[in-house]
Amino acid sequence: MEKPLTIQQIANVTGLSVHTLRYYEKMGLLEGVARNEHGYRQYSEADLSWIDFLLCLRDLGMTISEMKYYSDLRSQGASTLNPRRQLLEAHHEKVTTQIKALEQNLHKIKEKIILYKRLEEEAGKQADKKSGVGRLSITLTVKKITPEELYEKMKNQEQVTLLDVRAEEKYNDYHIEGATVESRNINKTEIFDLVEKGESSIAALPKEKEIIVTCTTGNSAAKCAAVLSERQYKVVVLEGGITAWKNYIASK
């Protein structure tokens, strides 16, 4: 630097305001700034380098009090090299930990962005379907089976795969059982959330067999069957659900 810089020039170079530079000096962060015969501050190249390092510490989250402590140590000369190093090492470790946490959180955000893009694509595909009815049209075309027809299958010893989409406690309280019945319980919310959460919850369902989907009254089963039908599962809905099944069994 050929000649000393004024406080305004330092402000322009560093991006700090004149007020902040004066505050730093008042706090003891900037010591020994020379003044000319008129009392105006004149900053040297060493002053500018020190201000640059202070900004580095500030941008890395060091507090004013910590910066002041470091500055006080610095002003004491070589005898404080060890505590200065220890202070910077501690802050370095702190910042490194923060960076790792930020990277983890950025990864989570990136995953969300990827998810939303996939959801947008799914929504676009639904919107492109004929008449704009999307999944509803599929729901209306899903085949149904009556309690009587299911009973006959079981009576004739036919192998039956049942998917009950009610809550686990309701399933455990009562579900359709039989010697040839393979009964599975997957909560309807897991099926509705396949796009967002992935298809691991339905991975064990057979695609080569007919799956009879049931719930309490049949409404949720129809929606779940529509979702599974889109994924090439062979599904039918128990008409009237568990309620209709109980009524039919009670009438026999």
Give the gyration radius of the chain's Cα atoms.
36
pLDDT value at residue 139: 46
Instruction: Quote the pLDDT of residue 138.
Output: 44
Distance CA 185, CA 171 (A): 7
Least-confidence region, from 98-102, 132-136, 182-186 = 132-136
Q: What average pLDDT does range 150-176 have in this prediction? A: 94
pLDDT reading at 78 higher than 80: yes
Q: Mean per-residue pLDDT for 103-115? A: 91
Assigned CATH for 7-75: 1.10.1660.10
Model confidence band, residue 173 (pLDDT cutoffs 50, 70, 90): very high
Distance CA 159, CA 178 (A): 10
Q: Tell me, what's the pLDDT at 106?
A: 94
Of 142 and 139, which is predicted with more confidence?
Answer: 142
Looking at residue 126, what is its pLDDT? Answer: 64
- Please give the Cα distance from 9 to 114 (Å, whole number): 47
Q: Predicted confidence band at 128 (pLDDT cuts at 50, 70, 90)?
A: low
- Tell whether pTM > 0.85: no
Q: At 141, is the pLDDT very low, low, confident or very high (cuts 50, 70, 90)?
A: low
**26-49: average pLDDT:** 92
At residue 237, φ and ψ (nearest 5 deg) are: -110, 135
Question: Could you give the percent of the chain with pLDDT greater than 90?
Answer: 72
Burial code of 165-174, b = ≥16 C-beta within 10 A, e = fewer? bbeeeebeee
- Residue 140 pLDDT > 50, yes or no? no
Does domain 138-251 match CATH 3.40.250.10? Answer: yes
- Residue 132: pLDDT band by 50, 70, 90 thresholds? very low
Tens-digit pLDDT profile for residues 216-246: 999 999 989 988 988 889 999 999 999 999 9
* Mean pLDDT (the chain, rounded): 89
Q: Please give the full DSSP string across 167-205, using - where no structure is assigned.
A: -HHHHHH-----TTEEEEE--HHHHHTHHHH-SGGGTTS
pLDDT of residue 195: 64
Q: Answer yes or no: are the C-beta atoms of 213 and 224 closer than 8 Å.
A: yes
CA distance 201 to 91: 45
Burial class (CB in 10 A: 0-12, 13-18, 19+), 155: exposed
pLDDT mean over 138-152 = 81
Measuring CA to CA, which residue among 87, 8, 32, 98 is closest to residue 61?
Answer: 98
